[in-house]
Amino acid sequence: MNDFHADPMFPLLYSVRQRVRENDDTFTLELEPSAGEMLPAFQAGQFNMLYVYGVGEIPISVSGDPSKPYRLIHTTRAVGTVTRSMAELRENDRLGVRGPYGSHWPMESVTGSDLVLVGGGIGLAPLRPAIYHIMANREKFGRVVLLYGARTQEDMLYRRELEQWRSRFDLEVYVTVDRATGSWHGAVGVVTTMIPHAPFDPLDSVAFVCGPEVMMRFTVQALQRRGVTSDRIYLSMERNMKCGAGFCGHCQFGPFFICRDGPVMRFDRIQDFFGKWEV
């Protein structure tokens, strides 16, 4: 009965190819199939369930290039039992992987529009696949703006890539920190402060927002103040998950299962529940 085709709870084995430290508590794992068989290709915004032998399993967004699904890349903070064990994994260690699950950033339906990507902290990780897709299909989109906020410059993810993106002529990248440290000479302040003046046309823009829920809440407000309508704002929601496949019940948010109806959700669909305490 088991085997990963027949049983949604049975993982496929992947091996660690590389582990990169992003900052004090965040790391990125690059995985490849242990025995040749790989999971179905993922789409930007989706997540996998990652299992550490004998410890447990957690959902982590895929943050690699969707056009290169053989190598799965996951960035996460080492803050719980499972993630702390995961942070100890070495090259060639194995993980169980199930997925890909969930909804994705709507890349097909936003062609022709300006795109505003707003990431906060580790929220840049689920946005990165969308950025890869955009760069590989650049002519399909209007102006593309990335607004990224982190706690300090040391906490930023993918710093080298951020610099590369910033040096492109067809991508505008604005970065800010909550707190200036070291020799930081850039913007200081929460990422929402960059929205009023960012170079996108609110009448024909779609926003992808990802970060802590409180950051997303105020980002949506700032976007709406600028004139972006609720049906053109997409959030990446997070909830507790045990199965990732729609039957453990843990990830419910109002009537939505975040593992199935999300994590990427269009704001007008969820606005009646979003922001209501403890829903």
- What is the number of other CB atoms lying within 10 angstroms of the CB of residue 195? 26
Q: How far is the CB of 235 from other proteins (least distance, A)?
A: 13
What's the token pair of residue 244?
Answer: 């990732």
Binding mask 51-80 for other proteins (x = CB under 8 A): x-xxxxx------------------xx-xx
Of 41, 188, 227, 268, the one binding other proteins (CB under 8 A) is 188
Spatial distance between the Cα atoms of 106 and 4, rounded to a whole number of angstroms: 27
Spatial distance between the Cα atoms of 66 and 104, rounded to a whole number of angstroms: 11
Size of the site for other proteins (CB under 8 A): 75
Among the listed ranges 92-100, 137-145, 201-209, 227-235, the one in contact with other proteins (CB under 8 A) is 92-100
Q: Which residues, 218 to 237, sit near other proteins by CB under 8 A?
A: 218
Per DSSP, what are the bridge partners of residue 139?
none
Q: How far is the CB of 35 from other proteins (least distance, A)?
A: 10
Does 103 contact other proteins by CB under 8 A? Answer: no
Query: Which amino acid, one-letter code, is at 256?
Result: F
| Pairing mode, strands 26-33 and 72-77 | antiparallel
Q: Which residues, 164 to 183, sit near other proteins by CB under 8 A?
A: 176, 178-180
Residue 134 or 228 having the CB closest to other proteins: 228
Spatial distance between the Cα atoms of 25 and 244, rounded to a whole number of angstroms: 24
Neighbouring residues of 35: CB distance < 8 A, sequence distance ≥ 6: 13
Q: Which residues, 239 to 258, sit near other proteins by CB under 8 A?
A: 239-240, 242-243, 245-250, 252, 254-255, 257
